[in-house]
């Protein structure tokens, strides 16, 4: 069945800031033409501080331009209203969105940095530029998502909405297309954003409630609309809880809880029918009983029966995540125990057989035969084996099957479609996973001169000539995570990637230390991800000293990175940060860091204790983001961390802590405007 409610939503966007321009169309209409074009011509300077780059979104209500903030160089987005949409209601809604989002400060909510009215009377707001995919895009491609991914997404959504509700802001239009995933593979802290507070309700004690609706007027998206919302009745935080429950349901089951053939029918289902259980709707998937109970409580028909606060939803999701982790640890321990038991039984059996064989000459002869046979097997195993690959049909984009003879034509088609879709939507980014490249495909990508950001995850057959061709275009951001690269290919990236600002080689195979050193040629590089690669202190020194403008460096999952590495990382005087998660860093290494460190990921390093954290507090007062799950830090140090003047985000992880101290930590974080995760 199709989705008849889609006209209430605004389509997909790889750069999800486009979502905030309003409903999109294939052509510009008279009522949807750009406003005050002289102010927003690419290359012009708006308000003397925003350099307009291009128009990235055009809808029935608004226009969105991508811009760069001068002096700082930060990518932002400017949203304005169409001249044809300049009604009192549209302007009020625009102002409500700016006021609602502008009053919030949370890593999972799109921030508004500036708001005003031009001399020509057009309202504008300057907000975060959000690259990524909406949750709706991901659900369209994948249907059901993994339980772990869903929990991670919903934890951040609930935390963000609890923050908004605490400020008296109720979103009232929570749905998958208003939730953006900055990254699909790993939903870490800060990896989602909530968009579009255009129909938000802002309330404050002792003041008149501000809202865009009149009594009895229905607003929102029918697939995710609470019963009270569909009837135009009074709404509060529990309205958002119901909508988020619908999103949770769809992520787990692959379908919305209610979907009629018409809008009215869908609204009536929300008011009168109970949804199928998660197991029924997901075609037999098993879920924890606590999760089914949570969904039922979030989607209760009566607001009185519903969970009262988003903070409670957040805490329940965290407890479910902890329970899943504990179950995984128990399963791993049981498997290890069974493995040890099997080894003991095997050893006992071999001992018994040996005793029996020693009693007769016949058995000795048999032993000789067995030994010769085993030796033959071992020798066979030691000989180099030729890899035998089964020839599998290759799925074409139209759903048919291709033989290996037309494999490259299939990849050409895949790339052409990806480029065509990105170009038609005005994107500067495209993503092509699991592709075996040839020179013709590199040429296809290089011919797209509008392409600035390219993601090639788990791809192969990169050659120096192909890299040279690929980087002859205008690519500034290149993500090659998990791809097969050899030394020559990486050196080609270093040689021909002079325009690159961001580069990710995380989990790439066959990358040598020599090739990594060559990356020091990339003088414009600001972000570099070398996670899992063979980065020694010698290699690290070349990279840190050779790339002058680097702001972010990821060294996650590299055991060679230790305390001496910290000494090297501390040498630059520029403001920057890095990920040292799952390395060999200890308290000793933290003493080298100073005031220029603005963010630091230390997860999975058990040799970091309260002593190291206290050193950071004393030497690094400008840290804004700190991650410490999997360390040996105690609540005593956490309370001290919360006093850091610049800190705005803290990920803690599981910790043995009493309820009184836990509440104290939360109260301090709330009073200081610090967002805490996994706690």
DSSP 232-249: T----HHHHHHHHHHHHH
Find tokens 């006992």 and name the residue. Answer: 348
DSSP-derived secondary structure letter, 214: P
Whether the Cβ atoms of residue 604 and residue 581 lie closer than 8 Å to each other: yes
Compute the average pLDDT of residues 668-673: 89
What CA–CA distance (Å, rounded) separates 46 from 53?
11
Compute the average pLDDT of residues 181-185: 75
Count Cβ atoms below 10 Å from residue 352 Cβ, excluding itself.
Answer: 10
Question: What pLDDT score was predicted for residue 330?
Answer: 73
46-67 core/surface letters (b: 16 or more CB in 10 A; e: else): beeebbbbebbbbbbbbbbbbb
227-246 core/surface letters (b: 16 or more CB in 10 A; e: else): bbbbeeeebebbbbbbbbbb
Nearest to 627 by CA among 595, 664, 585, 565: 585
Question: What pLDDT score was predicted for residue 430?
Answer: 87
What CA–CA distance (Å, rounded) separates 580 from 575?
17
Bridge partners, 614 (sequence order): none
CATH topology of domain 555-679: 3.80.10
Question: What pLDDT score was predicted for residue 101?
Answer: 75
What CA–CA distance (Å, rounded) separates 545 from 387?
42
Bridge partners, 460 (sequence order): 436
569-592 core/surface letters (b: 16 or more CB in 10 A; e: else): bbebeeebbbbbbbbbbbbbbbbb
Tell whether the model's pLDDT for residue 404 goes beyond 90: no
What CA–CA distance (Å, rounded) separates 16 from 20?
8
Whether the Cβ atoms of residue 520 and residue 492 lie closer than 8 Å to each other: no
Tell whether the model's pLDDT for residue 25 goes beyond 80: no
Find tokens 């998958």 and name the residue. Answer: 176
Tell whether the model's pLDDT for residue 26 goes beyond 50: no
CA distances from 404 to 153, 168, 399, 466 (A): 39, 59, 16, 21
Tell whether the model's pLDDT for residue 174 goes beyond 70: yes
Tell whether the model's pLDDT for residue 192 goes beyond 60: yes
Model confidence at 60, pLDDT cuts 50, 70, 90, reads low
* pLDDT one-digit tens code per residue, 488-525: 999 999 999 999 999 999 999 889 999 999 999 999 99
Residues 6+ apart with CB under 8 A from 626: 599, 600, 602, 616, 641, 647, 649, 650, 651
Question: What pLDDT score was predicted for residue 59?
Answer: 61
Question: What pLDDT score was predicted for residue 5?
Answer: 39
Kindly state the helix (H) or strand (E) to which residue 365 belongs, with its residue range: helix 361-382
Coil, strand or helix at 463: coil
Compute the average pLDDT of residues 59-71: 80
What CA–CA distance (Å, rounded) separates 159 from 677?
8
Active-site residue 173, yes or no? yes
Question: What pLDDT score was predicted for residue 501?
Answer: 93
Nearest to 21 by CA among 65, 52, 54: 65
Compute the average pLDDT of residues 391-399: 36
Question: What pLDDT score was predicted for residue 18?
Answer: 45
What CA–CA distance (Å, rounded) separates 432 from 220?
34
The percentage of the chain sitting over the pLDDT mark of 90, rounded to a whole number, equals: 38
CATH superfamily of 394-525: Ribonuclease Inhibitor (3.80.10.10)
The percentage of the chain sitting over the pLDDT mark of 70, rounded to a whole number, equals: 77
DSSP-derived secondary structure letter, 460: B
Count Cβ atoms below 10 Å from residue 672 Cβ, excluding itself.
Answer: 13
Question: What pLDDT score was predicted for residue 120?
Answer: 75
* pLDDT one-digit tens code per residue, 348-367: 656 665 555 455 555 555 55
Compute the average pLDDT of residues 131-138: 87
Question: What pLDDT score was predicted for residue 655?
Answer: 80
> Which tokens belong to 16?
């999800």
136-159 core/surface letters (b: 16 or more CB in 10 A; e: else): bbbbeeeebbebebbbbbbbbbbb
Model confidence at 473, pLDDT cuts 50, 70, 90, reads confident
Strand 62-69 and strand 74-81: pairing?
antiparallel
**pTM for this prediction:** 0.48
Tell whether the model's pLDDT for residue 621 goes beyond 80: yes
Whether the Cβ atoms of residue 93 and residue 139 lie closer than 8 Å to each other: no
Question: What pLDDT score was predicted for residue 358?
Answer: 52
Model confidence at 119, pLDDT cuts 50, 70, 90, reads confident
Nearest to 55 by CA among 500, 473, 428, 501: 428
Q: What are phi and psi of 429, to 5 degrees?
A: -135, 145
Q: What is the mean pLDDT of the chain?
A: 80
Listed in order, strand segments (DSSP E) in 493-565 are 502-504, 527-529, 552-554
Catalytic, out of 15, 159, 173, 529:
173
Model confidence at 275, pLDDT cuts 50, 70, 90, reads very high
Proportion of the chain in helix, strand, coil states, percent, rounded to 5: 45, 15, 40
Residues 6+ apart with CB under 8 A from 292: 277, 278, 279
What CA–CA distance (Å, rounded) separates 326 from 301?
33
Question: What pLDDT score was predicted for residue 346?
Answer: 62
Bridge partners, 377 (sequence order): none
> CATH: 1.10.510.10, 1.10.10.10, 1.10.260.40, 3.90.650.10. Which one for 6-323?
1.10.510.10
Residues 6+ apart with CB under 8 A from 207: none
What CA–CA distance (Å, rounded) separates 540 from 211?
55
Are 394-525 and 555-679 in the same CATH fold?
Answer: yes
Whether the Cβ atoms of residue 200 and residue 99 lie closer than 8 Å to each other: no
What CA–CA distance (Å, rounded) separates 556 from 210?
47
Could you tell me the residue ranges of all domains in the chain?
6-323, 394-525, 555-679
Model confidence at 380, pLDDT cuts 50, 70, 90, reads very low
Listed as own residue / partner, the contacts of 364-372 with beta carbons closer than 8 Å and 24 or more positions apart are: none
Question: What pLDDT score was predicted for residue 11?
Answer: 32
Whether the Cβ atoms of residue 630 and residue 603 lie closer than 8 Å to each other: yes
- Helices 361-382 and 310-357: angle between axes, nearest 10 degrees: 140
Compute the average pLDDT of residues 529-533: 93
Question: What pLDDT score was predicted for residue 30?
Answer: 41
Q: Compare 3 and 423 and report the one with higher pLDDT.
A: 423
Question: What pLDDT score was predicted for residue 585?
Answer: 93
Whether the Cβ atoms of residue 93 and residue 142 lie closer than 8 Å to each other: no
Compute the average pLDDT of residues 452-463: 90
What CA–CA distance (Å, rounded) separates 533 from 544?
15
What CA–CA distance (Å, rounded) separates 313 from 329?
25
Question: What pLDDT score was predicted for residue 233?
Answer: 83
Nearest to 497 by CA among 480, 512, 514, 481: 480
* pLDDT one-digit tens code per residue, 535-574: 999 999 999 999 999 999 999 999 889 999 999 999 888 8
Find tokens 């509008």 and name the residue. Answer: 450
- Computed from CA positions of residues 141, 146, 147, 152, in that sequence, does the dihedral angle turn out positive or negative? negative
Q: What are phi and psi of 493, to 5 degrees?
A: -60, -45
What CA–CA distance (Å, rounded) separates 205 from 211?
15
In terms of phi and psi (left: phi > 0; alpha: psi -120 to 50; beta: otherwise), the region of 678 is: left
Coil, strand or helix at 507: coil
The torsion of the CA quartet 538, 543, 545, 550, rounded to 10 degrees, works out to: -150
Tell whether the model's pLDDT for residue 9 goes beyond 50: no
């Amino acid at each position: 069945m199709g989705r008849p409610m889609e006209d209430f939503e605004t389509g997909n966007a790889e750069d999800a800031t486009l979502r905030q321009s309003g409903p999109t169309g294939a052509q510009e209409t008279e009522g949807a033409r750009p406003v005050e074009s002289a102010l927003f011509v690419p290359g012009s300077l708006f308000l003397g501080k925003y350099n307009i780059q291009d128009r990235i979104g055009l809808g029935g209500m608004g226009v969105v331009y991508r811009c760069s903030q001068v002096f700082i160089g930060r990518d932002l987005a400017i949203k304005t209203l169409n001249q044809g949409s300049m009604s009192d209601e549209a302007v009020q809604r625009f102002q409500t969105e700016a006021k609602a989002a502008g009053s919030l400060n949370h890593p999972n909510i799109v921030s508004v940095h500036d708001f005003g009215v031009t001399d020509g009377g057009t309202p504008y707001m300057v907000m975060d530029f959000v690259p990524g995919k909406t949750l709706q895009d991901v659900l369209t491609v994948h249907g059901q998502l993994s339980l772990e991914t869903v929990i991670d997404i919903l934890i951040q959504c609930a935390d963000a909405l609890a923050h908004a509700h605490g400020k008296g802001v109720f979103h009232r239009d929570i749905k998958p297309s208003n939730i953006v995933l900055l990254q699909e593979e790993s939903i870490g802290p800060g990896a989602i954003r909530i968009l579009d507070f255009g129909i938000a309700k802002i309330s404050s004690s002792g003041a008149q409630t501000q809202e865009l609706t009149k009594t009895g007027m229905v607003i929102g998206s029918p697939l995710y609309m609470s019963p009270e919302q569909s009837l135009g009745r009074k709404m509060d935080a529990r309205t958002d809880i119901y909508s988020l429950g619908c999103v949770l349901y769809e992520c787990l089951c692959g379908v919305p809880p209610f979907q009629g053939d018409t809008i009215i029918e869908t609204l009536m289902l929300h008011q009168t029918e109970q949804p199928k259980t998660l197991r029924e709707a997901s075609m037999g998937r098993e879920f924890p009983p606590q999760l089914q109970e949570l969904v039922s409580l979030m989607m209760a028909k009566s607001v009185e029966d519903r969970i009262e606060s988003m903070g409670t939803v957040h805490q329940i999701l965290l407890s479910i995540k902890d329970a899943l982790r504990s179950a995984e640890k128990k399963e791993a321990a049981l498997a290890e125990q069974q493995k040890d038991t099997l080894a003991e039984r095997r050893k006992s059996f071999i001992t018994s057989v040996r005793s029996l064989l020693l009693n007769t000459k016949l058995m000795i002869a048999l032993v000789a035969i067995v030994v010769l046979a085993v030796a033959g097997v071992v020798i066979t195993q030691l000989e180099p084996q030729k890899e035998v690959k089964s020839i599998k049909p290759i799925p074409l984009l139209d759903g048919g099957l291709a033989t290996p003879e037309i494999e490259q034509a299939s990849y050409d088609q895949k790339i052409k479609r990806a480029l065509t879709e990105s170009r038609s939507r005005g994107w500067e980014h495209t993503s092509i996973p699991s592709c075996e490249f040839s020179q013709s495909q590199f040429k296809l990508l290089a011919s797209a001169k509008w392409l600035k950001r390219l993601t090639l995850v788990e791809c192969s057959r990169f050659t120096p000539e192909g890299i040279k061709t690929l980087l002859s275009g205008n690519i500034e951001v290149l993500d090659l995570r998990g791809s097969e690269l050899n030394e020559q290919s990486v050196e080609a990236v270093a040689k021909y990637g002079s325009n690159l600002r961001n580069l990710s080689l995380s989990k790439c195979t066959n990358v040598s230390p020599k090739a990594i050193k060559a990356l020091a040629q990339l003088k414009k590089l600001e972000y570099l991800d070398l996670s899992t690669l063979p980065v020694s202190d010698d290699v690290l020194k070349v990279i840190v000293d050779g790339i002058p403008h680097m702001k972010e460096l990821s060294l996650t999952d590299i055991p060679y990175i230790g305390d001496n590495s910290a000494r090297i990382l501390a040498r630059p005087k520029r403001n920057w940060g890095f990920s040292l998660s799952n390395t060999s860093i200890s308290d000793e290494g933290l003493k080298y860091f100073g005031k220029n460190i603005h963010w630091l990921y230390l997860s999975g390093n058990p040799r970091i204790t309260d002593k190291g954290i206290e050193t950071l507090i004393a030497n690094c007062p400008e840290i804004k983001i700190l991650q410490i799950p999997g360390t040996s830090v105690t609540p005593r140090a956490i309370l001290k961390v919360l006093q850091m003047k610049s800190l705005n985000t803290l990920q803690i992880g599981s910790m043995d802590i009493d309820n009184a101290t836990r509440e104290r930590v939360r109260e301090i974080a709330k009073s200081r405007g610090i967002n805490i995760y996994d706690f």
